[in-house]
Amino acid sequence: MAPGTPASRSAGSTRGAGPASKAPLSRSNVEDIARRTVQARVAQMGDFENAISDGAQYTLAEVAERAGVPRSMVHHFWIAMGFSDVRDELHEVVFTQADVAAMKALGERVAEGQFTERRLTTLLRGHAHLSDRLLQWQLETMVERAQQERGYSPVEARAHVLRHFTDYVDLFGNLETYTWFRHLGQLLERTRREVANLAKDPHAGPELKRAVGFVDLVSFTATTRRMTATEFIRLIEHFDRTCRDVIASRGGRLVKTIGDAFLWVADDVVTGAEIVTSIVAALEKIPTMPPVRSALTWGPIVARFGDVFGNPVNLASRLTDAARPGTVLVPQKVVNLLAELEADKFRWQSVGAPDLQGFGVTPAYVLEAR
């Protein structure tokens, strides 16, 4: 089947792009975009690090005045980044020279009409959310290291990491920059292919067709209640690492974790089927792992706020709830596509038509790899 069809295996514009931005993007175009992005970001890092190290110097009113932007804009951006509210009337000094520079740059984007304040607020909220999670991940990793390698108690380990966290700033910064750019290259190339496919459909809308997968641990609460803290952490680490490795290595993309569940997407239904059956098989090989139940759907979704929305997402969740432990449920649409494309790789068996909340009676099938 030709690329671009629903079951085939399968960024955007840059600032200041003129009429040529409508021309097809080649691989060399994508590489050039990535190269220019790297150069721009590296050039900014030195000035930013020097500015933020000076410490808090300004109130909200002062940073707004120095940046040449309204106080309300500074306040909106500050809250969007997840920081505590700053009361201007209390003259709280919390802002650094780096904040002044950032607010000025953001204000210029708004003034020039490149972004609305609302759009920039959305971008800031996303960056801040991911940064907060990343820093927490880094902290917990270092605390665990101090406990295991130095024999510290939880309190001693956190105190040790607090004293030495700055020793690892360069490492963390380099890892973040490296992984960001590697993912940037992958995103640009994937989007280039997507643009080429969408250009073939004059009626294409904001939705993109994707395989959507859920995997969920069965009886998680009952199982973990019998575990020690160490056993619980080991179980979660095995589950997390296994799911992430299978999803990434087979070409999928993790959307989010939801407690003891994973939500992910793939560009085509065959890749999705390979991922979901491989996850179940890999987790079954871990002796202490509770059984999992999973589902795979296919259809148009909307990506927003780093998340995905649409009927395929909701259906995957409902099918997962209806699945028996150790099985993968799929709807009729997925079976039809796999039968057309890769019938020799998979087999399926009807389990009737469960009554799914929000969807009603829905024919479902257990999917397995041959």
Residue 59, amino acid? T
Q: Which of 342, 340, 349 minimizes the C-alpha distance to 368? A: 349
Q: Are strands 292-304 and 253-258 parallel, antiparallel or unpaired?
A: unpaired
CA separation (Å) from 95 to 73, 130, 173? 14, 21, 22
Where does residue 151 rank: exposed (0-12), middle (13-18), buried (19+ CB within 10 A)? exposed
Give the C-alpha separation, 154 to 176, whole Å: 27
* CA count, 13 A, side-chain hemisphere, 54: 14
Contact 316, 283 (CB under 8 A): no
How are the residues of the chain apportioned to helix, strand and coil, as percentages rounded to the nearest 5?
A: 55, 15, 25
Ramachandran angles phi, psi of 177, nearest 5°:
-65, -45
Q: Secondary structure of 46-109 in the HEC alphabet?
A: HHHHHHHCCCCCECHHHHHHHHCCCHHHHHHHHHHCCCCCCCHHHCCCCECHHHHHHHHHHHHH
Joined tokens for residue 98: 């780096």
Q: Are strands 261-266 and 253-258 parallel, antiparallel or unpaired?
A: antiparallel
Task: Kindly state the helix (H) or strand (E) to which residue 126 belongs, with its residue range.
Answer: helix 117-150
Other C-beta atoms closer than 10 Å to the C-beta of 351 total 15
Give the C-alpha separation, 332 to 297, whole Å: 9
Q: Is the pTM value of this prediction over 0.85?
A: no
* CA count, 13 A, side-chain hemisphere, 89: 0
Give the C-alpha separation, 117 to 66, whole Å: 18
Residue-by-residue pLDDT tens, the chain, 370 positions? 333 333 433 333 334 443 334 445 555 655 565 555 555 555 555 555 554 555 788 999 999 999 999 999 999 999 998 888 887 766 788 898 889 999 999 999 999 999 999 999 989 988 888 888 888 889 989 998 998 899 988 888 888 888 888 888 888 888 988 888 888 888 888 778 777 776 776 666 667 889 999 999 887 777 777 878 888 888 888 888 899 999 988 889 899 888 788 999 998 999 999 999 999 999 999 888 888 999 999 999 988 877 899 999 999 999 999 999 999 999 999 999 999 998 889 999 999 999 999 899 999 999 999 8
53-76 b/e with 16+ CB inside 10 Å = b? Answer: eeeeebbbebbbebbebebebbeb
Contact 291, 328 (CB under 8 A): no
Joined tokens for residue 337: 């596509």
Other C-beta atoms closer than 10 Å to the C-beta of 301 total 23
